Structures are given as structure tokens and as C-alpha cells.
Amino acid sequence: MDKTIGIFGGGQLGRMMAQAALPLNIQCTFFEASTDCPSAVLGQVISSKAENGLQDFINSADVFSLEFENTPLADVDVLIKNKDLHPPRQALAIAQHRLSEKALFDELDIPVAPYRAVDSFDSLQQAVAELGLPIVLKTTTGGYDGKGQFVLRSADQIEQAWAELGPAGSLIAESFVTFSREVSIIAVRGQNGDVKTWPLAENHHHNGILSHSIVPAPNSADLQPVAQDYITRLLNHLNYVGVLTLELFVTDNGLYANEMAPRVHNSGHWSIEGAICSQFENHIRAVAGLPLGSTDVVRPTVMINIIGKHPKSEDVLALNGAHLHLYNKTEREGRKIGHITLMPNDSAELTTLCRQLAKILPEPLALTQDMSI
Amino acid sequence: MDKTIGIFGGGQLGRMMAQAALPLNIQCTFFEASTDCPSAVLGQVISSKAENGLQDFINSADVFSLEFENTPLADVDVLIKNKDLHPPRQALAIAQHRLSEKALFDELDIPVAPYRAVDSFDSLQQAVAELGLPIVLKTTTGGYDGKGQFVLRSADQIEQAWAELGPAGSLIAESFVTFSREVSIIAVRGQNGDVKTWPLAENHHHNGILSHSIVPAPNSADLQPVAQDYITRLLNHLNYVGVLTLELFVTDNGLYANEMAPRVHNSGHWSIEGAICSQFENHIRAVAGLPLGSTDVVRPTVMINIIGKHPKSEDVLALNGAHLHLYNKTEREGRKIGHITLMPNDSAELTTLCRQLAKILPEPLALTQDMSI
């Protein structure tokens, strides 16, 4: 192998990174609590629970990256004394702290919903008074897929919200943006400063978890250059290397940034088949210091998550043109255990495929609606 | 993992099969002399030199396939007492014996160049008298990439040809077909008898080794249904399961079969990016008893072999839309150590890319000509 990349985390994102790295003769190692993780089949997993685990991990690779945005900064600080990490520590630190993230968006003139820092019951009451209702109260750190959040719709919920989230210490109250849909933009920046952006994905959720993404997001020609501008500001400001994701709300007043993820993203899984070069390969290329690949779309693509229970593989693969990606994870309610990629010829075929898929998937998600591409 | 497939061989074909198997939660094991082989990074390699190696290999998987057409039939005979092998033993036996192969082509009315069995100096002289010159003299078993062959152009070479190949015992003399180009057809047959065929590849050689393939083969609309018919006859006659390749000559009298390979093939590597479902994924699907994927072409594609020496990865990846596949093999003259896939928008872009590539590749192969798609 030509080079080894050490990845903080060993889940499905690490697995798909390592799959993309292999044809480039790049091997990955992983730092994960359980050595029986989705990435394990593709490279050495060093347990983060083992004595000297971090040092063994640092010794295992030439250059480092991550698939987990809650990678402990303390571990990163030990690493970067000796080895390079892409993306940079600063991007990770900001993405781990919602107030820092909003401050960065403000600094770079990227619109965000009005927000307030909340660190006491009084400041929560004041935030409600200033922002109006509804608001979303979130912990400034942690939380994932809708966890660590409270949607405050009426003033009589203030005490309950504080009781639930107050113990977390530092909170952020955000105005509840009225949006028509949620989109995400994914971009990659190389070590030479080159930036390439994939088309916007339109994302649909079910019970707070991404259900499916449509790419390019329908009717997004006007939004694409704006989103591209925002993410490029972030990438250049942070001197970022690798893939960055920015989640955005489409509102009557244009795009509002929701949050960024300093990593490859579920809404970019479509790119394995749907783009000339996937988010995974381009992330690996960037981290390894190689030229970036084309982010052009091969064909409009829909990515559907498999959540909680596995469908029968033979049912999925019988669908015309369907690609199946399983993560070798055990079934558990609300857990992402795989995804399906469809590349229909037109909206009519997409509708047909989605209706077939809705019958096949044990948890039909949000697929009942008619979609268009 | 849902299932394990044991592969005879552990080279780049096994490596690419295992890469395609992984997203389907299918794991591969390999049976190969050296455990330090291209497939090793993707699954357990059981050394064919180890005591009890064959039995350990048989115990390592649920169902079996191969990436190496010279897989010993003696090993296969032990295997199939207990486990299933796809493709069937008969296909392997025929492909390992050029006279049996020609007889099968004859039986199925698939045109082949006139040939004679040769097992003595006298029979060689008689073959020359009956077939005329030039002829190609080949061993009936073994030989690969031009090895074990003698092109007999004049009668005074008969003694030299016999001196070189006679000791091999059983030979075949084939008329030297005048052909305008060489093409190959690759098809896959599922366990339920479904057959799917990829478009014809036009293959170009350099020093007897495949240099590059263009898919779909230019001006092949009339040839495609004929080739498809021939390979379907073979698949159905053999009750074949998996991927089969048929190499053909394009002559003034139509297509002539050259030889078949009971496996995925170098001229099908383009399909990883260029087809909806690659030869590797469809082979795995067939062996695992899953439905076959679409063999439709995403875009015209050119696959270029990397032979002998590695180019700089950064030079290849800087080419617009280029995909790089390295096999983690050491450099050696005449050895296939990787391939590059190009998916140009038109012939002009292809010409530009090939000229850039000819400067980048340490051994420029047969790329100097202008190609069209």
C-alpha cells in the first residue's frame, strides 16, 4: 500500500471511505471503542478503550482524518503534536459547539435563524421573549439525529424544556425557521486549495432521522450558486482539507444555514454511483494530498436509508438499477444499517420504484409521497 | 456478514470481486499460493501450499467461485463433493482445454477458425498442408497472454515450432484468421437462468497483453446481437452461473470465436464505473443466488491497463474524470498492476485524455493512435 490514513471512528462512513481508498492503494486504520465495527473488514481497528490505544492509533498511519464529528478534542490534541489531521482541529472544535458555529456563520455573512445563548432559566425566558415562539432549544455540544433538542411551542413548556436540557449547562435557543424544505451542500477542498462542490441534495426526514435524499435537489438552480458560495467561504476561512457538509433551510427569505458537519455525510451517499467521483473518494484524495475528482452528476439519483430492520437483499436487488449498501450492523430501532441508491430515468420511473420499495422496506420511512427528479 | 464466497485465486480479479461483494454484506475468502496477494486486504487467504489448505478453504465459505481459469480440476473435484461451485466444473474443464473448447463452439454452431489437433510432427505437417499458412500452434492446455504459442508463417519454421511446443504433448493448430479487430462479449447468468449481457468491448493489445478496451465497441450495432446470441448459447448449454467472457475476431465473414474465459475478464473492468452494475457485482450476485443488476452502459468508457510500472497516482487523478484502480502488486515487466478508466464526453476529449495519458504512463502501450467512441 502506498499510504495509510488513520480514521477517528469505525462506522459506515469509515467503511465507505476505506472502500474508496482501496483502489488508490491507500489503506485505512480506525480508532473505535468496539473492534467489531462496520469498518473492521477493511482495516485494523485500534480500540479506543485499550491501554495505549491512542498512541497505537497514532503510530498506525501516516495522516489522519475522522468520520465522527464528536471525536474528542483531547485525542486530537495529542495526535496533532506529531501527525497531520484533515480537516483541521479548528473546524472540528467549531462543529462541536453550536454557539461557535453560529458565530462563524455570522462572521462569514452566512444567514442563520436568530439565536440566543442560554445558560440559565432566566436567560431562557429572555430568549423566548426576544425571539418569540416557537423556538428550538439545543445543547451547545453533543446531540445527534434529533437527540438533545426540545421544540418549545408555548410559554407553558419553558419549565419542562429547562428541566430536560438545563442540566446540560450550555444551551442555544434558535428561532424556529419556517422552511419549505431542507437541503444540504457538500464540498471538498484539496491541500492545494482547490474546491469542488456536489449539487444540492433535498433531504427528507422521518422521526428526526434522514429518510431519503434527492440529488440534484429539484428546482435548485437558483439556490446552488448561493449554497456553493457559503460553503466555499467556510472551507477557505478554515483552511479546510477534506469533505465538509452544510445543512440549509430553504425559506421565503432564501437559504439559512442550519449546521455544518466536518465530514462526509449521509446526504452524500448518493455520490458513490451518482457522481463521477464520490464524497468518499474525494475525501480520501484530499487527505492523501491527491488531485480532486470531478463532482459532476452522472444521473439524477435518490438515496434511501435503511433504518432499524433489513429488507430482503433479493427484493431490493430485483428493482431495476438499484444499488444496495449494507453496513454489517445489527438491527436496532432508529439505527441506520444501510442505504439504497436509485438512478431512475425520469420521475415516473422514480415513483414506480419508490412504491415498490415502500412495500419492501420493513420501515417504509417517508416514501409514500410522490417524488420528482 | 450474510454469506461467504470462497474464491479460487487471490489476484486483482478476486480483489475487485470482494470489493463488489462488501456492500452486499458478502465476504470472500481466497485460495492462493501466496497469502500476500492483491485480495488479501479484503478477506482471509488460505494458502494452497499449506497442509490441509484445500480442506480449510472448503470449510471457510458457503459457496464457491474462481478468478483463475487454470484452477486445478483435482481441487474442484474435492470441493464439489460437499459445496457448490459457480461456474460449473464442466465450463472450467472445457475452458482449460482448447480442443474441447473448439468442439463446443462447433457443437453450438459458433464459428471458429479452421483447426486441427496436433500430437506429432507428422500431424503438424499434415495440419500445415490442410490449413495452409500462416497458422497459430498452441498448447491445448496452459498458456496465457501469448505464452505457449507459436505463429508459423513459413514451412521452414515447422521444425522450430515442433521443437518449442512439441514437448507439451497435445497441441492445436489454428488457421491464422484475418481480422480487422478483436472484441469480447461478457455476460452473466443467474441461478434462475436469467441472462444479461454487457456491450461488446473493442480490445487492443501490446506485446500480446491487453492494452486497452473501448466500450461499446465502435460500430458494433450489427455485431452485438450476434455475439449476444453466441454467448447465450454457451451459458445455457453449460447451465452456467456467473460471468462468462467470449473473445471474438471481427472478420469479413462475421464474428469468429477465439476463446472463452469462465470468469470476469480484464476487458470488463470498464464496467465498474461504465455500467449500472459491474461484471464483479453481477458475478457475486449470481454466485450468491441474488437477482442480476442492469448491464446498461452509463456512458461510453475506455479502460487502459497499467502494465509493468506504476504511473504517479497524482498525474492520473489530475486527468478529468479519470478513475484509478491499483492492485497492490509489485512492478514487473509485462505484469498487469492496475487500470485506469476514462469516461470522456466525446471522441475529441478522449483523444486529448489519451495523449495526456501517453505522457504519464511509464509504458505507453498502444495508446498513440487516435481513438473514437
Whether pLDDT at A357 is above 80? yes
Per-residue confidence (pLDDT) for residue B348, from 0 to 100? 87
Per-residue confidence (pLDDT) for residue B365, from 0 to 100? 66
Distance between CA atoms of residues A300 and A321, nearest Å: 13
**Residue recorded with cell 469533505:** A243
Burial grade of B86 (CB within 10 A; 0-12, 13-18, 19 or more): buried
Is the CB of A298 less than 8 angstroms away from the CB of B293? Answer: no
Whether pLDDT at B171 is above 70? yes
Is the CB of A313 less than 8 angstroms away from the CB of B23? Answer: no
Under DSSP, the state recorded for A23 is G
Binding-site residue ranges of B for ATP: 98, 138, 143-149, 174-177, 182, 205, 258-259
Per-residue confidence (pLDDT) for residue A208, from 0 to 100? 83
Is A274 flagged in the annotation as binding? no
Whether pLDDT at A372 is above 90? no
Per-residue confidence (pLDDT) for residue B372, from 0 to 100? 73
| Per-chain mean pLDDT for chain A | 94
Per-residue confidence (pLDDT) for residue A146, from 0 to 100? 60
User: A158 is written with which cell numbers?
Assistant: 419553558
Per-residue confidence (pLDDT) for residue A113, from 0 to 100? 93
Per-residue confidence (pLDDT) for residue B3, from 0 to 100? 94
| Cβ–Cβ pairs < 8 A, chains A and B | 85
Helices (H), chain B: 12-21, 53-59, 73-79, 89-95, 98-107, 121-131, 158-165, 223-237, 271-274, 279-287, 313-317, 347-360
Q: Of A217-231, A330-344, B146-160, which gets the smallest average pLDDT? A: B146-160
CA proximity to B365, closest of B323, B326, B309 = B309
Per-residue confidence (pLDDT) for residue B207, from 0 to 100? 84
Whether pLDDT at A1 is above 80? no
Q: Beta strand pairing status for A45-47 and A26-32?
A: parallel
Is the CB of B23 less than 8 angstroms away from the CB of A325? Answer: yes
Q: What DSSP assignment string belongs to B260-301?
A: EESS--GGGTTHHHHBSS-HHHHHHHHHTTPPPPP--BSS-E
Is the CB of B324 less than 8 angstroms away from the CB of A2? Answer: no
- Helices and strands per DSSP (H, E), number in chain B: 12, 17
Distance of residue A313 Cα from the nearest chain B Cα, in angstroms = 8
| Band (B373; pLDDT cuts 50, 70, 90) | confident
pLDDT mean over B319-342: 95
A178-220 pLDDT, tens digit per residue, is: 899 999 999 999 999 999 999 999 999 988 899 999 999 999 9
Is the CB of A293 less than 8 angstroms away from the CB of B27? Answer: no
pLDDT mean over A45-68: 97
Q: At what angle do helices A279-287 and A12-21 cross, to 10 degrees?
A: 70
Contacts of A41 in chain B (CB under 8 A): 1, 22, 27, 42-43
A143-178 pLDDT, tens digit per residue, is: 665 667 899 999 999 999 999 998 888 999 999 888
| Per-chain mean pLDDT for chain B | 94
Per-residue confidence (pLDDT) for residue A144, from 0 to 100? 60
Per-residue confidence (pLDDT) for residue B355, from 0 to 100? 86
Which chain B residue's Cα is nearest to A194? B318
Q: Give the CA distances from residue B84 to residues B58, B65, B66, B80, B236, in Å, rounded to whole numbers and listed in that order.
A: 10, 9, 12, 6, 18
pLDDT mean over B117-137: 94
Is the CB of A24 less than 8 angstroms away from the CB of B285? Answer: no
Is A273 flagged in the annotation as binding? no
Which chain B residue's Cα is nearest to A316? B291
Whether pLDDT at B248 is above 80? yes
pLDDT mean over B281-308: 96
pLDDT mean over A96-123: 96
A82-97 pLDDT, tens digit per residue, is: 999 999 999 999 999 9
Is A349 flagged in the annotation as binding? no
Which chain A residue's Cα is nearest to B295? A321
Distance between CA atoms of residues A180 and A202, nearest Å: 11
Is the CB of B41 less than 8 angstroms away from the CB of A19? Answer: no
Per-residue confidence (pLDDT) for residue B145, from 0 to 100? 56
Which chain A residue's Cα is nearest to B345? A298
Nearest by CB to A23, from B294, B296, B324: name it: B324
B68-120 pLDDT, tens digit per residue, is: 989 999 999 999 999 999 999 999 999 999 999 999 999 999 999 999 999 99
Q: At what angle do helices B98-107 and B223-237 cross, to 10 degrees?
A: 110
pLDDT mean over A50-61: 97
Distance of residue B197 Cα from the nearest chain A Cα, in angstroms = 15
Angle (CA) B237 B243 B244, round 5°: 55
pLDDT mean over B229-238: 98
Per-residue confidence (pLDDT) for residue B114, from 0 to 100? 95
Whether pLDDT at B228 is above 90? yes
Q: Of A76-80, A102-106, B202-206, which gets the smallest average pLDDT? A: B202-206
Is the CB of B22 less than 8 angstroms away from the CB of A41? Answer: yes
Contacts of A276 in chain B (CB under 8 A): 321, 343
pLDDT mean over B160-182: 91
Contacts of A22 in chain B (CB under 8 A): 19, 41-42
Q: Residue A122: what residue type? A: D
User: A66 is written with which cell numbers?
Assistant: 475522522
Distance of residue A352 Cα from the nearest chain B Cα, in angstroms = 17
B21-47 pLDDT, tens digit per residue, is: 999 999 999 999 999 999 999 999 999
Distance of residue B259 Cα from the nearest chain A Cα, in angstroms = 29
Q: Which residues contact A241 (CB under 8 A, 6 or more apart)?
A: A86, A87, A88, A189, A190, A191, A286, A287
Distance between CA atoms of residues A35 and A40, nearest Å: 7
Distance between CA atoms of residues A329 and B330, nearest Å: 35
pLDDT mean over B343-363: 87
Q: Which has more pLDDT, A168 or A340?
A: A340
Per-residue confidence (pLDDT) for residue A130, from 0 to 100? 96
Is A149 flagged in the annotation as binding? yes
Is the CB of B19 less than 8 angstroms away from the CB of A24? Answer: no
A282-326 pLDDT, tens digit per residue, is: 999 999 999 999 999 999 999 999 999 999 999 999 999 999 999
Whether pLDDT at B5 is above 80? yes
Domains in chain A, ordered, with CATH? Answer: 3-85 (3.40.50.20), 114-175 (3.30.1490.20), 181-360 (3.30.470.20)
Distance of residue A246 Cα from the nearest chain B Cα, in angstroms = 25
Is A175 flagged in the annotation as binding? yes
Asked casually if ipTM beats, i.e. exceeds, 0.90, the reply is: yes
Per-residue confidence (pLDDT) for residue A346, from 0 to 100? 87
Burial grade of B238 (CB within 10 A; 0-12, 13-18, 19 or more): buried
Contacts of B23 in chain A (CB under 8 A): 19, 323-326
Is the CB of B317 less than 8 angstroms away from the CB of A291? Answer: yes
Whether pLDDT at B146 is above 80? no
CA proximity to A88, closest of A240, A232, A201 = A240
First to last CA, chain B: 41
**In this structure, are residues A213 and A219 in contact, taking their beta carbons and an 8 Å threshold?**
no
Q: Could you count the other beta carbons within 10 Å of the beta carbon of residue A157?
A: 17
Burial grade of B206 (CB within 10 A; 0-12, 13-18, 19 or more): middle
Per-residue confidence (pLDDT) for residue B192, from 0 to 100? 97
